[in-house]
Amino acid sequence: MTTNDQPILSVRNLKTFFYQDEGVVQAVDGASFDIYAGRTLGIVGESGCGKSVTARSILRIVERPGIIVEGEILLRRDMGGGRIQEIDLAQEDDDSRLMREIRGGEIALIFQEPMTSLSPHYTVGNQIIEAIRLHKGLTAKQARLEAIELLNMVGIPKPDRRIDEYSFQLSGGLRQRVMIALALASDPRILIADEPTTALDVTTQAQILDLMRQLQEERGLAIILITHDMGVIAEMADDVAVMYLGQVAEKGPVDQIFHDPKHPYTRSLLRSIPSIFAPPRTKLATISGSIPHPYARPKGCPFHPRCTEFMAGVCDRHQPQLHAVVAEQTVSCFLYNEPEVAAPTLEPQR
């Protein structure tokens, strides 16, 4: 697997807010991370932590009333001769010609639920062929042959027959493979997989993850893997970003995150993983409390109401910033960062 020193996508201080009559939902609140060719970034956290909104922000498909209010989404293109073109996707119009080329072209998304993402009115082949012709300009005959090749590549048996079937005629595992084929139709450089193994049995999950790993090795894909399953992260990711309430609580190489987690939230997530070595009838560790209501966001560190290492007068008054603690591992926590360097939490302005 080959990698480059320079990331092909950099997200810097991304903020995506939803302005509603009831209040402001800070779905993504200052997230920052990098994606490298040939590597997998795992974004992990509980439901409601902003993982999927982060992915949709990168592709500029956030539904109204959600808008990107701040930050950069820097996509880098190799123009040859040592020249690198840098595009800030956050500054592009959602419907601009450039975004339509990039969306599904250079950056592809595997949606969380194939049954709601694939149209029941068209065959799976028609949907793949449309994507191929849109991004590659091939004839209908050429696109059909390429679609059959894609279906074969993702492990669908009898692809020349399956291409004329509808999504409701396929099993969950085959639908997920069709989604992967659809995402690969334009030879993207970045593949975003949003909970790609949800609702699949464990055998099919393993097959889908193996397929993604194989395609990455063959094509040098950069993968953003969004999940709440720490086991999937351990198996697939090279780098990890742990998100909580729209913020990156901790990020670093997967081995450091699993063997030496720094943030109390990361430690709590890891403690909640079932172990085959645990004695029978051992209760699973849980994280006390629940994610705060979007309209009742706590001041200071967003995790402090549930944190076992909460420091009164510090964590509930100031918001910590990401701070390097060891090589390549950063954490947003006052256990490692002096409170004086953090600014008080401010109310979002529209």
**Phi and psi angles of residue 26, each rounded to the nearest 5 degrees, phi first:** -90, 75
Cα 214–chain centre separation: 19
Q: What is the pTM of this model?
A: 0.88
In a domain, 71, yes or no: no
In a domain, 88, yes or no: no
Other Cβ atoms less than 10 A from the Cβ of 79: the count is 9
C-alpha 80/C-alpha 190 separation (Å) is 19
Q: Cα torsion for 114, 120, 122, 126, to the nearest 10°?
A: 10
Q: What is the DSSP letter of 340?
A: G
Residue 139 CB burial class (10 angstroms; 0-12, 13-18, ≥19): exposed
In a domain, 22, yes or no: no
In a domain, 346, yes or no: no
Give the pLDDT confidence of 121-174 residue by residue, as tens digits.
999 999 999 999 988 888 999 999 999 999 998 889 999 999 999 999 998 889
Beta bridge partners of 241: 43, 251
Is the pLDDT reported for residue 1 higher than 50? no
Residue type, 29: D
User: ∠ CA(246), CA(251), CA(252), 5° rounding?
Assistant: 165
Beta bridge partners of 344: 318
In a domain, 179, yes or no: yes
Give the pLDDT confidence of 309-350 residue by residue, as tens digits.
999 999 999 999 998 998 889 999 999 877 654 444 445 555
Give the residue-averaged pLDDT of 269-297.
Answer: 85
In a domain, 160, yes or no: yes
Among 162, 187, 212, identify where a domain stops: 187
For residue 243, the surrounding DSSP H or E stretch is strand 239-244
CB 211 within 8 Å of CB 154: yes
What is the structure's pLDDT at 2? 39
Among 170, 187, 204, identify where a domain stops: 187
Q: Calculate the average pLDDT of the chain.
A: 89
Beta bridge partners of 324: 330
Q: What is the DSSP letter of 15?
A: E
Is the pLDDT reported for residue 115 higher than 80? no
The structure tokens listed for 32 are 């920052």
Query: Which of 140-154, 212-226, 230-244, 268-282 shows the lowest per-residue confidence on average (mean pLDDT)?
Result: 268-282
Query: Three-state SS for 311?
Result: coil
What is the structure's pLDDT at 78? 85
In a domain, 50, yes or no: no
Q: What is the DSSP letter of 171?
A: -
How many domains is the chain partitioned into structurally?
2
Among 138, 158, 187, identify where a domain stops: 187
Give the pLDDT confidence of 42-77 residue by residue, as tens digits.
999 998 899 999 999 999 999 989 999 999 999 999
In a domain, 100, yes or no: no
Give 194-240 as a DSSP string: ESTTTT--HHHHHHHHHHHHHHHHHH--EEEEEES-HHHHHHH-SEE
Enclosing domain of residue 272 = 261-341
> Is 116 or 241 the better-scoring residue by pLDDT?
241
Is the pLDDT reported for residue 205 higher than 80? yes
Instruction: Give the contacts of 19 (CB within 8 A, at least 6 positions apart).
Output: 65, 67, 350
Task: Please state whether the peptide bond connecting residue 294 to the residue before it is cis, i.e. omega within 30 degrees of 0.
Answer: no
